[in-house]
Structures are given as structure tokens and as C-alpha cells.
Amino acid sequence: MSWEAVKAGRSKGRSVDNRVHRTKARQETESEIRRFLESYKTKPCDRADSNHDFRLCEKYHPHKDDQRRNPYQTYYSPDDGSCLNLVETLYHPIVFRTGSCRNSTNCVFGKRCGRAHSDIQLRNREDASESYYIDFFQPALPTKTLASSLDLSSLSQGKPNFDILAMKAWKEIHLSPTKVSLKIAEHLWFAVNRSNELFSRIQEAAFEECLGTVDRKIVNKLIIRSIDLDGIRARIQSLLDESSPYFVSRILTYGKRIISNLRELKTSDISPSKNLLIQYLSHGKLRMTAVRGKGDGANTAELLLKNAVDKLKFWIEREGYDNFYSCGCCCESFNMDQGIICENRHFYCSKGEEDGEQCFDSLVKSQILQLSNRKDCSLLCPECNAPYKKKDISSNLSDEVYDQYQKAIVDAKVTRKTEEMNNIFNERLQSAVAEVLATHGNAESRLLVEAKNLAREARDTVLNLRCPHCENAYFDFAGCMAIQCRRCEGNFCAYCHQKTSSSRGAHEHVRQCLLNETATGSYYATPEQIEDAQKRYRTREIKRFLTSYKKNLQNAIVIELEQDLKDLGIKQEALFELGNLM
């Protein structure tokens, strides 16, 4: 339980009388338990008889590792792992007798056992935890014990020295504080550093809530020392929110062009006060933070910030930066440098006051799919179709959309180039095929006869599917691509006709075959997949058959096989030897 939880429990109106009344039936027992836990195993055993049972001894034996600290003098908890051994855990006020002993009838620890031997001994852990924290931290309350024991000479000019007060409190409750540095934003550090009233309030809140101290010796950091860092952080953050009465902070948007020129001005040109901080942020924004000075009225910070804003407005009007355009998409008004404008003065915003996708980003996304249909891949104004200049496009798109736009341009150019090359190749292919077919009739009779004979051989040995073991032709088979020949009982793969020595070998090969295009490498294929596999196998084998002959004879054989190839769905053009067509 944290310090904040303890304090919250007290502030809910739970009085000591109510707690006593609730535990009246066990008050004496709880008092005895506390006296027992304050002394048990905290002092060394001084008995001369070294053979006595250390488990029944109320003093600790170093060689048995059963020494414990008094939990009411030194803070440690089983919930945060600060107990040194099992004895400290089991005999801690939060844990002691909150569970039942498994062997209560023959327990070797007897009445000194850390677990309950009956229901009346059983304690509620949540109540025990709350009681321990309240009893332990009660002396730390500044309004109680500390108020009477602290040295009032530490007070200086009516203000307490919180560093001295905290050190006295830590010493009295026997706790060591934790130190951490809290990094805060530049404008918040400015407010803390310039406003002594705000810093004093932070110190006061830190001490009252968590017995903590705060100093501001390091730029942009607050050094905190406290027994409850989470609680003190929360209080500091609550004092530094935008509704703080000690300072005023505003984010203003003017556009990149205005901010770029403002950077050249001195801060003193806008406001001579040291209580005003001006920060130039990204996306055409700046932050003004005004701090109320010592002895100033409640509205002094607001007035200081208003005067600075009025000076900026006067400077913008004097420099001519107050010209605005209406966006053709969202109809909001923007400065000229916050968007893109075409040659006909149609404006679309690209950097607005709100974060997120702007209108020009959406416009470009809507045209990305159409870029491939435009010769120069240009982006067009949706109102007049005037092309935007490339330099304006790059400076007004977000990085994400600009990358998409560049990728679309590259894809469009590649698509057009591919189509152009395919058209050229097809034209040359058709021309070369026509030339081969035209000259076939004029070939020598010997070449034609040889081509007919070789075409007949190709039909029998290549286009007809055969068992690789016995060369017996086969036709239909079941969906499994691991085939066994009915004639010779040889096994092979129907994809690549690889021979195997067994059916198991054929099945294993089918799963790993490079020509297997099933999604899971299955043994089975659909009729369409079988037809496609056989077409690819025949095409590969006919090409291998043709490579043994000269160019003219290859082309003559392909012409003789025209009808056979057409029936099998094999493209004749893919088999002609035409040389390099590119």
C-alpha cells in the first residue's frame, strides 16, 4: 500500500474508534501478536545447550539463517521482495497467520508457528496489511508527531525549509528516500524556473503528500527525493497542466513562411519581458508561454501573452503575410504557403491547423491509379486539369503519400515499357514465323522427308507419355501423381517422369518435385493441374528432342507437328528456332 493510499484511507472518515470497534473481539490477541513479532528471532540465542531445537527457540541461530529484523523499527515488506529470508517473510505482520498450517496437529513449531492452527487464529491478510501500514507510517504524518517534534528554527522568513523538514521525517520513520530526475518540457521548465511561487507550491505539495523534496538545479529536470515517487510525480504533473494559475501557454499556427521569417526576429522585438518564452515548433507553429511575475496580478500572464500576439499580428500585416486562400476541398482559409496553387489560382491545402491527412494528400491518392494512363504521369488540378509543377508537388506532400506517388510513377513507366517491348517482340515473332512458314514449301525434298520421319518419331517417343522403366505408353490415371506402371510395375513421378525404386520413393519424390504446383505439395492434383503438368512436360521434352538437329530441320519438324501441338494445347511459336528477336 502506498503513502497516497494510506492518506486516502484516513481522509475517507475511517476513524481509529471504528477500527478498534471492528476488531474489539481480537484486540488483545493483535496486541500480543505485535509484541511477539517485535522480538521473535531478533536477538541471538545465548543458551549454553547448543543441541536444543532452534525451531522452538524465540532467538535466532546464525548457522540456521533464521535471523530477522523488527518490522516495526525497520521497514520491509513481503510485497516488494525486501525480506532477507523465509523467516522474515513468514513472520512479517502482513503474512503472519494469514494462512493455515498443513500439519497443525503435529507441527514442530508449536504455538510459535507462523501459520494458523485454528480458525480463530486465522488473520485476514488485507486487514493485516492495512493495519501494518497505518501503524508504521502514522508517525510520518506531518500534522501529527512531526509537527511537535520538528525544530521550528528551520523556518526562514515565514517559509519552511522543506529539505530540513523531510530529512527529519525520514530519520524519524527510519526510511531512506529514493532519488530520481523528472525531465519536463522546455516551456514547463521555463515556468518553474521563472516563477518562485510555482516552485514553492511544488515543494510544499511534494512534502505534504509524500515527504519529498524537489530542486531545480539541472536545466529541464526536477530532482526528486521521496518515499513515494509515483505520488509526487502525479502532484507535480497536476501543478504543471495548462490550467495552472501560475503561467499561460498557447500554441499558435501561422504557416511555415511566417515562422521562417519570425526566426530572424529577436524575442525582444515581440516582447521585452523576461517572463515570456517563444518556441518555434514544426509545421508552421509556435508556442508562447507567459509567467506571472512576483507581485503581479492574476491576469498579468494573460495580458503579457495577448500583447505579444498583437505585436505579431501587426508585423504579419505590415509584411503582407495576411493573404489567405480558400481550399477547394475543405473550404477553410489558409495562408499561401500552407498549400499548393495551380496556374489558374485554384488552391488546395497541404498543411492545416489540425494534424492528419490534408486535402492535397487525398487529391494525389485519388489520381495515383490514373497515372499509368497519362503520358507524362502528371498530377492535374481537379477543377481545370492544369498540371501541377513537380517542385510544388514534392514540397506539399507528406512523406508517406510522396513515396506512394513516386512508386506509382515508376510502376507506370515500367508497365508502359513492358507493353512496348511485348508489342515489338510479338511483331517480330509473327514476322519470323510467317517467314518460316512461307519458305517451308520451297525446302528440299530430302529435308521434308527427313522432317516427316522425325515428326513421326517425336509423336511416338515424346508426345505420347511413356513409362520411364519399360517405355510402355500410358494415358489416364487417378489423381495421385505417384504412378505404378501396370506392365512392369515400375514406380515414377507423373510430373517429371523421374524413376524410383519403390512406391514410397515415388510418393516422397512427388512431395518434393520442383514441378509440383499444388499449394501444399500434395500427392494429388486436379484434372486441370494434371493437364497443365503434362503440357509443360511435353513442351520440355520436345524442345530437348529438337536441339539435336539444325535450325531448318527443327522448324520443319515443328511445322509437321502443327496439328498434334494444337491438339495438346502447345504453342507452335514457342518451338521455332528463330534466333534473337530483340
Mean pLDDT by 10 residues, the chain (582 residues): 42 38 42 88 85 85 84 83 88 91 84 87 84 62 39 48 79 76 90 89 84 88 85 84 84 78 72 83 85 70 86 79 78 78 87 65 84 76 87 83 85 75 63 63 67 82 87 82 90 90 91 86 87 87 84 78 83 67 48
Kindly report the number of other CB atoms within 10 A of residue 295's CB atom: 7
In terms of domains, do 554 and 500 share one? yes
In terms of domains, do 31 and 123 share one? yes
Using CA atoms, how far apart are residues 369 and 324, in angstroms rounded to an integer?
32
In terms of domains, do 263 and 228 share one? no
Place of cell 491438339: 567
Using CA atoms, how far apart are residues 526 and 99, in angstroms rounded to an integer?
67
Residues 6+ apart with CB under 8 A from 124: 98
In terms of domains, do 77 and 130 share one? yes
Which pLDDT belongs to residue 320? 64
Which pLDDT belongs to residue 294? 66
The pTM of the full predicted model, rounded to 2 decimals, is 0.37
Which pLDDT belongs to residue 461? 82
Please give the radius of gyration of the chain, using alpha carbons only, rounded to the nearest integer.
Answer: 45
- Determine the structural domain holding residue 338 and report its residue range: 326-410
Query: How would you list the strands of the sheet with 247-253, edge to edge?
Result: 247-253, 285-291, 276-280
| Three-state secondary structure string covering 150-210 | CCHHHCECCECCHHHHHHHHHHHHCCCCEEEEEECCHHHHHHHHHCHHHHHHHHHHHHHHH
| Three-state secondary structure string covering 102-160 | CCCCCCCCHHHCCCECCCCCCCCHHHHHHHHHHHHHHHHCCCCHHHHHCCHHHCECCEC
Kindly report the number of other CB atoms within 10 A of residue 86's CB atom: 12
Using CA atoms, how far apart are residues 497 and 481, in angstroms rounded to an integer?
10
In terms of domains, do 284 and 182 share one? no
350 belongs to a structural domain: yes
Q: Which amino acid is at 38?
A: E
- Which of 115, 137, 159 is the endpoint of a domain? 137
∠ at Cα 173 (152, 167), nearest 5°?
Answer: 45
In terms of domains, do 189 and 259 share one? no
435 belongs to a structural domain: no
3-state secondary structure of 86: helix
In terms of domains, do 278 and 157 share one? no
Which pLDDT belongs to residue 509? 92
DSSP state for residue 293 in the 8-state scheme: P
* In 467-520, beta strands by DSSP E: 482-484, 491-493, 499-500
431 belongs to a structural domain: no
Which pLDDT belongs to residue 96? 92
349 belongs to a structural domain: yes
555 belongs to a structural domain: yes
User: Do residues 122 and 100 touch, judged by C-beta distance below 8 A?
Assistant: yes
In terms of domains, do 317 and 331 share one? no
57 belongs to a structural domain: yes
Using CA atoms, how far apart are residues 166 and 149, in angstroms rounded to an integer?
13
Cell readout for 479 is 489423381
- Which of 194, 216, 239 is the endpoint of a domain? 239
3-state secondary structure of 213: strand
CATH number of residue 289's parent domain: 3.30.70
In terms of domains, do 309 and 352 share one? no
432 belongs to a structural domain: no
In terms of domains, do 230 and 256 share one? no
- Which of 90, 106, 137 is the endpoint of a domain? 137
In terms of domains, do 304 and 233 share one? no
**Burial track 44-64 (b if 16+ CB lie within 10 A, e otherwise):** ebeeeeeeeeeeebebbbeee
User: Do residues 381 and 388 touch, judged by C-beta distance below 8 A?
Assistant: yes
Q: Judge residue 306's burial from the number of C-beta atoms within 10 Å of its C-beta, 0-12 exposed, 13-18 middle, 19 or more buried.
A: middle
523 belongs to a structural domain: yes
In terms of domains, do 314 and 198 share one? no
Which pLDDT belongs to residue 22? 34
DSSP state for residue 40 in the 8-state scheme: T
Which pLDDT belongs to residue 25? 30
Q: Give the distance from CA 484 to its chain's centroid.
A: 55
Looking at the 3D structure of the chain, how many domains does it have? 5
Residues 6+ apart with CB under 8 A from 184: 192, 220, 221, 222, 240
Q: Which of 318, 245, 242, 254 is nearest to 285 (CA)?
A: 254
